[in-house]
Chain A
Amino acid sequence: MIGGPQGSGINSVAENFAKACIRGGLHIFANIEYHSNIKGEHSYYRLRVDSRELHSHVDWVDLLVALDKETLFGDLNKAHPTHKGHRHEVSPGGGIIYDAAFKLAPESFGRDDISLFPVPYMDLLIDSLKAFGKDRELSKYQVMVNTIALGASLGLVGYDFGLASEAIKEGFTGRKASLGDLNISAAQHGYDYAQKMFNHNPFPIKLQKQTLGAKRMMVRGVQAVAIGKVKAGCGFQTYYPITPATDESEFLESHQEEYNMIVVQAEDEISAINMATGAAHAGLRSSTSTSGPGFSLMAEGLGWSGITEAPGPVIVLWQRAGPATGMPTRTEQADLRFALHAAHGEFPRLIIAPGDAVESFYDTFDAFNYAERYQVPVILLVDKFLASTYRDVPPFEMDGMKVDRGDMLQESDLAKNPDYKRYQWTDLGISPRSRPGQKGGIFWTTGDEHDEYGHITEAADVRIRMMNKRMRKVELASQVIPDSKKATLHGPGSAPTTLVGWGSTKGAILDGMEELKASGIETNFLQIRYVNPFPTELVTRILSGSSRKVAIESNYTAQMAGLIRETTGIAVDGKVLKFDGRPFSQNEIYEGVKDVVKNGMREVSLSHA
């Protein structure tokens, strides 16, 4: 773990370290916690490395790298303290790298079971700058102490320096290339110092590269979703800046020239969703991306998209801790019910909740197909944790991915039908669509109830038929989309305890299951991926065969457990919940489930923060 004030560059340290590990054949899991603040507040980045594949983080730290004192001791001296620092999280036998200039007495750490590695960050930085004749511009390069710390941590665990320097170099291209050399030199100074100075008390944990298998990507949720959009042929993305969604739109905008994709920064999320719906009606695959506060504003536009049977947009909802502003940079899964019910009235919508970056890629791609096939808005329900967490995965396999644009008419089709009706009654509820500009395809569309032409009506019989037509589309989607996409049972087909979760808790649950198994608690895990259409029969079948069902969710009210009860009549036996804005760790899953299984607790609320 590396911690420091925001703006101190902990991201590049953790991400370069992670990249170096992946290129050395190791597996990583890297996630960041930060404040809603530009500079100064405490942030930390956890990087877990192992020789086996990882899906989660843990709450203990083997090596803590502190760029400031607050990372060690917290902010207890402040008027409104928020945390106690991380020194108590270091596992016995672990170590701490910190600035020798802090001049800390070993006793001040209150730990005699860990090793301390003071490193003179600034002296080493000055030394490395000297070689480039830049030591007089120290203030300009001060932030590079992060790279000294990176080097020192690599040196301490004895990892291959070449891999790290390669990763550093790639971060500085073009005009910044010279900075790359400067940073590599700084890292080298840190590395050499740690190797030389601490060999009398060597750190017991060593990292060694392994034989490299096939290439792996280091990917986080926002990237996976964005690449899914590119692959799906999205031609129009709108957004209003909001944490943690904006990175996705910026990724798309930075690649718009290669892929011909319009990205518009709208004046608010009301505009964002409506622009996207307008573009969808005009025939372009479109999407928007936001978080809870923005989605609140989108409710109205969502309803318009629903009643006008627009072929989209795809709406990516990166949940964060709410309500209102809540905790903007922290994670939560509390918008499940909101996504299901947002906007007044009743209309069809599809909701998919991928469990990791890989699923996010495929679900995003499918979302565009569904939007056009069923002419509905499709919501992708993801969260801050998934957005910002890196894992190493194989490059996405793309065989068999096919764009399905649904029932789209060409001018030649329209020429055969002089009486085209955009909302024509059909058995399936889906009316073939034209797009503006096509000869013979003129249609009207309205947020009022309407007839087959799209003209306003308040006739009771037409209303009933139109409601049936629209609502039937979810039933159709439910029949067509295979159950294998909607939910997955991980682990053994039957187990004394079934864990039930959705979205980004997947990784921690998978790793937690291993830990539970090792201590004799046998579980399997029902991961629900489709919120709507909900796999009612499948979930009923799996859960009615399970003697103990434990819901695991990052919210207060166990929203998925409620939805399961609503749709299947089955109540869970226990709930493991977390609503402190931090993601579940592997050990929290272990502890929470154990409390339910061994200690008979009905509801466990966790926080390791």
Chain B
Amino acid sequence: MLELKSYRTQVHNDWCPGCGDFGIVNAIQMTLLEMQLEPHRVAIFSGIGCSAKTPHYINAYGFHTLHGRVLPIATGGKLANPSLTVIAVGGDGDGLGIGAGHFVNTGRRNLDFTYVLYNNGVYGLTKGQASPTLPKGLKTKSMPAPSIQEGVNPVAMAVASGYTFVARSYALDVRHLKTTLRAAIEHRGSAFVDVLQTCPTYNDINTKEWYAGEDLQSKAPRLYKLEETGYDGRVSDPTIREQVNSKKGNALLKSFEWGDKIPIGVFFKMEVATFEDQLAHRMPALGEKPFVEQDIYNRDVTPLLDELT
């Protein structure tokens, strides 16, 4: 019988006490359990950085890859064996700095997998430099000077790149995160989850207290749930161009809301043919079984040779 410890490893965890990463790993493990996914049917891929140690803490096939390259490697793994549940994870610097090109182009493909962005605004493992998501003008505690580069908007980038499920959640709200991750994994297509996260060691601006709105006059939490406001990012008919465009437009508009009020939840969702579907359309055998389970080692190449005579 599967239980939470089925998804845990004995590996020593060296994240800082209070790190937002713990909440994300717990949520991933709880989601896998809730979905009753057997560990050996799951592959977790990560890039480089604190967040990238995630696979070592989860009992599933684990790929700790290169800085920024998690999506290409996960793409290869998924295409070789589309029957696997593939979850890619990585930090904001990994995914939107050095890996930005892969982030955009992976969205274009719409593979059936999930990408979870650990978004804390800083490069933690290299000791607190500004990450691509840190807004311009901010200076976290170990930065010598405020950032003079604009921050990127991960949700907007994901919508523009073609991810067919785009959501945001919060590392310290494990319940919301679990619900969001489950929806992302269950989505047929490329799902992107921007997880707002604290870095207690280096990000002294976007702290737990800041997200809780303790600095605001209203003392009201900054985060609010989209679904509670009647917002609906789902495209019911992807063949209607106007509907798709307007849903994407709404998602973009919402994604730029930042400051005293920050939306979390599902910004956009649309079900269209995945990359694997399109490949299976060309190669029906792929629709029956992953190529790793097929005998493709006794091919007759004489027709190719005949073409050359």
Contacts and interface: CB of A to CB of B under 8 A. Distances in A.
B104 to A, nearest CB: 8
A96 interface: no
Interface residues of B, number: 57
A27 B196 CA distance: 68
Interface in B267-306: 279, 282-283, 285-286, 290-292, 294, 296-299, 301-305
A282 B69 contact: no
A230 B81 contact: no
A274 B72 contact: yes
Contacts of B304: 227, 230, 255
B138 interface: no
A444 interface: yes
A235 B291 contact: yes
Given A235-B80, A235-B296, A286-B80, A260 B283 contact: yes
B64 to A, nearest CB: 4
Interface stretch (B28-36, B39-47, B164-172, B233-241): B39-47
Given A233-B297, A443-B61, A270 B305 contact: no
A448 B64 contact: yes
Contacts of A398: 301
Contact of B282 (A256, A264, A274, A405): A256
B207 interface: no
Interface in A327-381: none
B309 A216 contact: yes
Contact of B69 (A216, A257, A270, A443): A270
B28 to A, nearest CB: 15
Interface stretch (A48-56, A431-439, A469-477, A535-543): A431-439
B296 A236 contact: no
Interface in B28-83: 38-41, 43, 45, 48, 53, 55-56, 59-66, 69, 71-81, 83
Given A231-B301, A235-B296, A258-B303, A276 B76 contact: yes
A491 interface: no
Contacts, number: 196
B55 to A, nearest CB: 6
A149 to B, nearest CB: 25
B299 A456 contact: no
Contacts of B62: 442-446, 454
Contact of A279 (B65, B71, B79, B283): B79
A462 interface: no
B61 A442 contact: yes
Among A218, A231, A444, find the residue whose CB has the most chain B CB atoms closer than 10 A.
Answer: A444
Interface in A384-405: 395-396, 398, 403, 405
A50 B59 CA distance: 66
A300 B308 CA distance: 37
B102 interface: yes
B285 A278 contact: no
Contact of A282 (B39, B48, B60, B76): B76
B137 interface: no
B296 A260 contact: yes
B72 A278 contact: yes
A442 B39 contact: yes
A441 interface: yes
B297 A438 contact: no
B205 interface: no
B101 to A, nearest CB: 5
A256 B65 CA distance: 29
B105 interface: yes
Given A235-B80, A456-B53, A403 B297 contact: yes
A267 B308 contact: no
B301 A282 contact: no
Contacts of A281: 63, 73, 76-77
Interface in B222-264: none
A227 B296 contact: no
Contacts of B152: none
Given A255-B304, A274-B66, A282-B80, A442 B60 contact: yes
Nearest to B69: A274
B81 A266 contact: no
A27 B63 CA distance: 52
B11 A455 contact: yes
A275 B291 contact: no
Contacts of A436: 40, 43, 61, 77, 81, 84
A270 B72 contact: yes
A205 interface: no
A283 interface: yes
Contacts of B40: 436-442
Given A217-B308, A260-B286, A447-B66, A456 B80 contact: no
Interface in B130-162: none
Contacts of B45: 278
Nearest to B14: A456
Contacts of B305: 217, 227, 395-396
Given A217-B305, A270-B69, A257 B282 contact: yes
Given A233-B299, A262-B279, A274-B73, A218 B56 contact: no
A465 interface: no
A267 B102 CA distance: 7
B285 A275 contact: no
Among A219, A266, A271, A395, find the residue whose CB has the most chain B CB atoms closer than 10 A.
Answer: A271
B56 A446 contact: yes
Contacts of B74: 278
Contacts of B48: 447
Nearest to B302: A395
Contacts of A238: 76
A395 B301 CA distance: 11
A436 B81 CA distance: 8
Nearest to A398: B301
Contact of B73 (A267, A277, A396, A455): A277
Contacts of A286: 76, 80
A452 B74 CA distance: 22
A583 B191 CA distance: 50
Given A217-B308, A260-B296, A455 B56 contact: yes
Nearest to B98: A270
Nearest to A411: B40
A435 B296 contact: no
Interface of B: 11, 38-41, 43, 45, 48, 53, 55-56, 59-66, 69, 71-81, 83-84, 101-102, 104-105, 279, 282-283, 285-286, 290-292, 294, 296-299, 301-305, 308-309
Given A441-B61, A442-B39, A444-B64, 12 more contacts: A232-B297, A262-B286, A270-B69, A274-B66, A274-B76, A276-B76, A284-B292, A304-B65, A395-B309, A396-B305, A437-B61, A437-B81
19 contacts: A217-B305, A232-B297, A233-B296, A258-B303, A260-B283, A267-B105, A275-B75, A279-B79, A280-B76, A281-B73, A284-B291, A284-B292, A304-B69, A403-B298, A435-B81, A436-B43, A438-B40, A442-B40, A445-B64
User: What are the 10 closest A-B residue pairs judged by CB atoms, nearest first?
Assistant: A278-B76, A282-B80, A446-B64, A267-B105, A274-B72, A284-B80, A279-B76, A233-B297, A275-B76, A278-B73
